[in-house]
Amino acid sequence: VNFLLDKAADPNKKAYCGATALHFAAECGHTAIVRKLLKHGAQMTKNVSGMTPLITAAERTRSEVVEYLVQNTEVIKKEKIDAYELLGASYANDKDNYCLTRAYTYLRKAMELR
C-alpha cells in the first residue's frame, strides 16, 4: 500500500463491486492502512451494495476501524448510529467474534446517540 500511494496511485479507484482500497482495509481490520489511505485522500464512498467502509467494518466486527472512522471522518449521526447498531448486532451474531459484552456496549452507544 505504501509503495502504491508513494507512486501516486489513486486511493479512490474502485473494483468491479464498487469497493475501494478503504473498503478492503476496513473489512480486514487494518486500521493503520485505513489511516494511511485517508491521509492520501481516500473517500468514504458506497460500493454497489450501498455499504461504506464504516458499515463494512461494523459488519465484520472490526471495532478498532469503526471507532477510528467515526472519530476521524465526517460521518453524520445516523451513520454513526447505524454502524454502532450493526457492530453490536454483529458481536451478538458472529460465531468467531461472539461477545455479548461488546454487543451491549455498541448497542448502548447507538442508543445514547439517538
Torsion of CA 79, 84, 87, 88, to 10 degrees: -150
Q: C-alpha grid cell for residue 7? A: 507512486
* Domain harbouring 102, CATH code: 1.25.40.20
Report how many domains make up the chain: 1
Return the half-sphere exposure (C-beta side, CA atoms, 13 A cut-off) of residue 24: 13
Q: C-alpha grid cell for residue 4? A: 502504491
Question: Per-residue pLDDT averaged across 9-22, rounded?
Answer: 96
Question: Per-residue pLDDT averaged across 31-54, rounded?
Answer: 97
pTM strictly above 0.85: yes
What is the CA 81 to chain-centroid distance, rounded? Answer: 13
Which pLDDT belongs to residue 92?
98
Question: Per-residue pLDDT averaged across 33-40, rounded?
Answer: 97
Domain range for 1: 1-113
Cβ 71 vs Cβ 89: under 8 Å: no
Q: What is the DSSP letter of 80?
A: H
Q: For residue 35, what are the contacts with CB-CB under 8 A and spacing of at least 6?
A: 68, 72
